[in-house]
Structure 1
């Protein structure tokens, strides 16, 4: 946020309040005008009097403008006090906007979004730079971040459209940067329809797409798996005469790398090295699109959504304009040489493909480049480190780190985090601790929350829950706020070490932390902790509370419950669980009507196998047949060998007792039919073949009498 917002003129109300302010307000205002923010804060904090709107707004502005954690906390405390006293209207839009930006920079994006929503509900419209900063951060945030970004954008634009004169809030109207931030949210969601909707709204705000808008469109193509559209995006940019820059070509290289098409990425980079302007021709040849003949391409788009195709026909009119295909492909305005970023992107492709030698060779080639703009930087070296760590070559990775120090290319936090993760994966926790100390003492780099999350997870791998807790506490002692991953990883440590109550305590702390949102992973880890000890009732209580909070169990939740039921030897619970799983699975059937609030469940092989195992062991053959039928319907191959072994070991003498009462024998008839049907499915001799009874002596140590059935 720039200083213009801070220097906005006072409203008539504020000028009157300043003129009639009490002496203590005048003193506070004088301190604020002299930029003595620290003294002004202490004057406010030690006064029982609530200052006038001008003083409060200026104080929040200046605290927010300092961009420190302590100043942000102070600004938030003022807002909290005013909200509790129902005096939030004393703050102007300018200071609230600055507060939102400061919170965004500090990583408190959810708080920033809540500030902006409060402004809009109160009739304020935030400055475009304020809401753009929040939307941009939300668009790349995990979980519901992109969805919240779209919601915030819609709230602002709805408010703008209600104004009788569009110039009334000119400072809040979206510009190209704002629109691109929203388009990025759509791309991250893979929502082509929302992308088109935002794209179509640009003329309403006198905004035109730029190269970044189309680069984001390339990102959308990657998200939804439409590699065939990348070339059309580039040609559209050239057709429109949009000022071209090398970032578009870099985005193309990145897109082909993401698709794993390294051959096309290599040819594109080579064409850039040759300063060729006919990049579109090169890409046409690579994609083997027969434009002149009008034949279908080699890409099979028969499974693409028709609505999706319509969306891209509107976004890219050149998709349906065959006249453009008959002409020569458009040329770039000039040749664009690849730079460090371009080469490093290709290196990442080699790394992802496991081509370590090619990654290292690319680094050597970059070193020999005459153009310094193509020399390797810390990202290039870090990519090589990552490639070596990925294949377990920790010693070579450390050699690259040493070389970076020797040639003056400083490693950064990401480099060290990659190395930390490598040591933890190899269960070398002591070396990870040594590296952490080296990072702080020698390199002067402080660990972040990612560093500690890696170390906590490393402790789990060596079954050291105490070490995990120690790192978690050390992280908080350094003033580093835990993330959702921090909490769930620590819960995992306690769950896996048989300490579900401690996992529950961590869960409760996470639930009370306003900076994070309890998600399905956290609930599942809590369920897992109880189920690992066979505490099925406690786990069921967690699942019930989970549902009450609007979070629906998934296959992982049910899988944990199934394993817990097997451990607790409570087959009756398995029947209840299967009924719920079956109901959720049937929602996936075409034309099946269900409660829209409960999503359908995708059948999971592990879950169904565990349930079938329990049912076979408990002689619930009818239910076992239902489960294996569900498995086969969904392309999951049941383990017949295992089920045959269980049947032979446990049930080969079923129904052979001659001493049971007539009533009990009658009750067995239905179960016997189910057992014969299950034997038929297994391929064992049964009454469906010849009506004869089948006998098999049980293996020593196994077998159940009819009385125990």
Structure 2
């Protein structure tokens, strides 16, 4: 009976699970704590925490006491439903009932505390477990601690814990290494040969080398973090070396890493190198619209609008369809370069327009001191339901006032207000 109920619960057929329970009772098969715990897990996964909690009352009516598994299932469900405070309440209720938490109860408690931004409380729970010595921490406990400390900005504490655990025989998993690498990168303690902004060297590299020396697979996620970190500090050559090593191990850098490298090459005015890299990854079928948009934006910033337009047309031949982000970028650069008439022509030919498109045009018309035209377009697009940035609206009204079009400025304010009320 329990196996059948568990199967129904796992396949989100709670009604059938309840029917099996009823049939079992009719046949003289009385449910036990496992039966009810299975239902608690099913209800918490697929229905609601409140319905799962109601099972506790049914257990009491049947003369069966809830156990630690009952409350662990409820706590897990609360975490899945993002009811973190509810999970903490369940933990307190469990201890008040005299049910001793196990290591998984504490794991869930620490996870909730970290998610709620209470790393000190989570660390206190961890110390209590270790110092009491009543139960052995599992690998998940250490991973939760290291990951939680990193995500809450306590990377130094995570690294100290990592080293202390190693000295006591803890063997890290790939997940543990990834958590540390990610934490180091986010804290600007970047890995490999680059100097950390905080002046500390090689901490990330130590972890990576240690990972390799122990025979762990250095997966694509970790490689991509390292490549992105190196690129952001301008270490293109080192990033290239890591990418080559990654590919020699049968892995391919993700598109985000490539896009970061292309973006930095463009910022350093090495557009030719960026284009070569685009062509290389294009042959691998990795390019997306954002990749090409980076190139278009770089060409526009250099004032090379002819090649930028050619690249826009080239994108259409690749089957990407209309790239609104790239066109918005092209339109904005034309306006900022003072080529407002050309920008208007591009605007008229665009197949798709969004609020950013309209905001860009209106703002650049203000740059060109075409305030009357800008005000007419502003009112038209607000009436049409587009969300024009408040800064752009102020630029139009202030521009009209500065140009002594005070009556027009008042009219525009009134029309904008009426359009807001309508929408």
TM-score by length of 2: 0.68
Deviations 1:517-563 (A, max 9, x none): 437xx133122122134144434433433343344x34554555555
Match of 1:439 in 2: 165
Query: CA 1:357–1:562 in 2, change beyond 3 Å: closer, same or farther?
Result: same
Match of 2:243 in 1: 507
Deviation at 1:624, TM superposition (A): 3.8
2:58 pairs with 267, 271, 276, which one?
A: 271
**Structure 2 residue 285 is the aligned partner of structure 1 residue 498:** no
Query: CA 1:505–1:339 in 2, change beyond 3 Å: closer, same or farther?
Result: farther
Query: CA 1:473–1:368 in 2, change beyond 3 Å: closer, same or farther?
Result: same
Task: Write out aligned runs for 1:183-198 (5 A).
Answer: none
Provide the C-alpha distance between the structure 1 equivalents of 2:117 and 2:149, rounded to a whole number of angstroms: 9
Match of 2:393 in 1: none
Provide the C-alpha distance between the structure 2 equivalents of 1:569 and 1:273, rounded to a whole number of angstroms: 76
Provide the C-alpha distance between the structure 1 equivalents of 2:74 and 2:353, rounded to a whole number of angstroms: 42
Match of 1:425 in 2: 151
**Structure 2 residue 345 is the aligned partner of structure 1 residue 622:** yes
Match of 2:173 in 1: 448
Query: CA 1:509–1:624 in 2, change beyond 3 Å: closer, same or farther?
Result: farther
Match of 1:217 in 2: 11
**Structure 2 residue 17 is the aligned partner of structure 1 residue 234:** yes
Query: CA 1:259–1:234 in 2, change beyond 3 Å: closer, same or farther?
Result: closer
Match of 1:359 in 2: 87
Task: Write out aligned runs for 1:437-586 (5 A).
Answer: 437-442=163-168, 444-466=169-191, 467-514=203-250, 517-518=251-252, 522-534=254-266, 535-551=270-286, 553-554=287-288, 556-558=290-292, 560-561=294-295, 564-565=298-299, 570-576=304-310, 578-579=312-313
Provide the C-alpha distance between the structure 1 equivalents of 2:58 and 2:299, rounded to a whole number of angstroms: 61
**Structure 2 residue 356 is the aligned partner of structure 1 residue 638:** yes
- Note the residue ranges of structure 2 that are not aligned, 5 or more in a row: 192-202, 381-398, 403-423
Task: Write out aligned runs for 1:300-315 (5 A).
Answer: none
* More helix as a share of residues: 2
Task: Write out aligned runs for 1:642-657 (5 A).
Answer: 643-649=361-367, 651-652=368-369
Query: CA 1:415–1:645 in 2, change beyond 3 Å: closer, same or farther?
Result: same
Q: Which has the higher contact order (CA 8 A, sep 6+)?
A: 2
Match of 1:344 in 2: 72
SS of the residue 1:445 aligns to: coil
Deviation at 1:400, TM superposition (A): 0.4
Query: CA 1:445–1:567 in 2, change beyond 3 Å: closer, same or farther?
Result: farther
Match of 2:384 in 1: none
Match of 2:121 in 1: 396
Match of 1:278 in 2: none
**Would you say the 8 A contact 1:574–1:614 is kept in 2?**
no
Larger radius of gyration: 1
- Note the residue ranges of structure 1 that are not aligned, 5 or more in a row: 1-208, 219-229, 276-334, 585-597, 654-675, 685-695, 700-709
Deviation at 1:513, TM superposition (A): 1.7
Deviation at 1:625, TM superposition (A): 4.8
Provide the C-alpha distance between the structure 2 equivalents of 1:530 and 1:439, rounded to a whole number of angstroms: 40
**Would you say the 8 A contact 2:114–2:152 is kept in 1?**
no
Deviation at 1:461, TM superposition (A): 1.9
Provide the C-alpha distance between the structure 2 equivalents of 1:602 and 1:398, rounded to a whole number of angstroms: 51
**Would you say the 8 A contact 2:230–2:239 is kept in 1?**
yes
Deviation at 1:397, TM superposition (A): 0.7
SS of the residue 1:427 aligns to: coil
Query: CA 1:376–1:622 in 2, change beyond 3 Å: closer, same or farther?
Result: farther
Query: CA 1:239–1:350 in 2, change beyond 3 Å: closer, same or farther?
Result: closer
Match of 1:224 in 2: none
Deviation at 1:398, TM superposition (A): 0.8
**Would you say the 8 A contact 1:495–1:530 is kept in 2?**
no
RMSD over aligned Cα, in angstroms? Answer: 4.2
